[in-house]
């Protein structure tokens, strides 16, 4: 559960936040489908996978690139710094508001990636800076968002890392003599990233810019829903104060 002071300050926002983060989890699937399948076997949202790919590339595994993986890692790192700075002064009752600001920056980076992907040709992967630019923008977007999500600290909704989520489903299940806490949320996270990645894999067959535009649109809707819920909470609180 989220902090009680957060509940009293932003009840509508707290209710919407998990659904917004599930939508962003689907965006993770879309973005990593684009990066891995179209930008040269690199992850820009899942840094565990990306660091492993970087290690394989360093060991001169064919088809992998140190430059692309390192670009993704550096961009994600810089994005996380930006997200961390935005949310650094957030208190328990304002963390959603600051996170919403970081999510808007994510939208800016994804929008830039969408425009930069127009006319992208996968056959020019090794002879163009365009893939590195796209990797950088999507990495910045995902790093910024992950820093904000980390600040929110909503259990089982990290939006990118599913290892602990899948472990929780199994380790806390009835088969393991557990009571299945937050099972719906955990399963929802897994399904969101799965379907996001599957959808991305289908859309990029026709257009990488369409896949990135779709990721941007979903992020915009999630950010708008969260911002709207914040205004609703502030209006309700204002009425109560008056």
| pLDDT per position as a tens digit, 217-232 | 999 999 999 888 887 7
User: Per-residue pLDDT tens for 143-202?
Assistant: 999 999 999 988 888 998 899 999 999 999 999 999 999 999 999 999 999 999 999 999
What value, to the nearest 5°, has the Cα angle with vertex 157 and ends 103 and 145? 20
**What does the pLDDT read at residue 1?**
39
**What does the pLDDT read at residue 147?**
96
**What does the pLDDT read at residue 236?**
58
Q: 231 is in which domain, residue-wise?
A: 16-241
Q: How many domains does the chain contain in total?
A: 1
Structure confidence at residue 235 as a pLDDT band (50, 70, 90) = low
Q: What average pLDDT does range 66-83 have in this prediction?
A: 97
Report yes or no: 45 and 35 within 8 Å, Cβ to Cβ: yes
5 within a domain of the structure (yes/no)? no
132 within a domain of the structure (yes/no)? yes
8 within a domain of the structure (yes/no)? no
In angstroms, rounded to a whole number, what is the distance separating the alpha carbons of residues 58 and 61?
7
Q: Scan for tokens 């600001």, then name that residue.
A: 101
In angstroms, rounded to a whole number, what is the distance separating the alpha carbons of residues 144 and 81?
7
* Residue 147 or residue 96, greater confidence: 147
Among the listed ranges 51-55, 58-62, 119-123, 167-171, which one has the minimum average pLDDT value? 119-123
Top-confidence range, 92-101, 102-111, 127-136: 102-111
In angstroms, rounded to a whole number, what is the distance separating the alpha carbons of residues 142 and 176?
34
Whether the per-residue pLDDT at 137 is higher than 50: the answer is yes
Q: What average pLDDT does range 3-17 have in this prediction?
A: 65
Whether the per-residue pLDDT at 241 is higher than 50: the answer is no
222 within a domain of the structure (yes/no)? yes
Structure confidence at residue 123 as a pLDDT band (50, 70, 90) = confident
80 within a domain of the structure (yes/no)? yes
Q: How many CB atoms lie within 10 A of CB 132?
A: 19
- Joined tokens for residue 182: 């937050």
96 within a domain of the structure (yes/no)? yes
Cα-trace Rg, the chain: 19
Q: What average pLDDT does range 199-211 have in this prediction?
A: 95
In angstroms, rounded to a whole number, what is the distance separating the alpha carbons of residues 54 and 230?
40
CATH of the domain at 184: 1.20.1250
Q: What is the 3-state secondary structure (H, E, C) of 123-145?
A: HHHHHCCHHHHHHHHHHHHHHHH
Among the listed ranges 13-22, 45-54, 57-66, which one has the minimum average pLDDT value? 13-22
151 within a domain of the structure (yes/no)? yes
């Amino acid at each position: 559960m989220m902090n009680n002071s957060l509940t009293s300050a932003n009840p509508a926002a707290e209710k919407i936040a998990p659904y917004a983060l599930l939508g962003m989890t689907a965006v993770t699937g879309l973005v990593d489908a684009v990066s891995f399948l179209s930008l040269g076997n690199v992850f820009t949202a899942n840094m565990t996978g990306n660091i492993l790919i970087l290690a394989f590339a360093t060991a001169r595994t064919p088809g992998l690139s140190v430059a692309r993986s390192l670009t993704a890692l550096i961009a994600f790192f810089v994005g996380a710094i930006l997200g961390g700075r935005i949310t650094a002064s957030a208190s328990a009752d304002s963390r959603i508001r600051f996170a919403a600001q970081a999510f808007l920056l994510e939208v800016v980076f994804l929008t830039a990636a969408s425009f930069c992907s127009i006319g992208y040709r996968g056959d020019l992967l090794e002879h163009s800076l365009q893939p590195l630019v796209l990797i950088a923008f999507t990495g910045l977007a995902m790093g910024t968002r992950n820093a904000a999500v980390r600040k929110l600290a909503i259990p089982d909704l990290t939006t990118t890392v599913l290892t602990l989520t899948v472990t929780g489903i199994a380790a806390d299940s009835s088969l393991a003599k557990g009571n299945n806490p937050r099972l719906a949320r955990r399963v929802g996270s897994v399904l969101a990233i799965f379907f996001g990645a599957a959808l991305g894999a289908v859309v990029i067959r026709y257009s990488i810019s369409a896949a990135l535009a779709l990721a941007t649109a979903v992020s915009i809707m999630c950010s708008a829903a969260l911002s709207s819920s914040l205004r609703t909470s502030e209006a309700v609180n204002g009425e109560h104060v008056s």
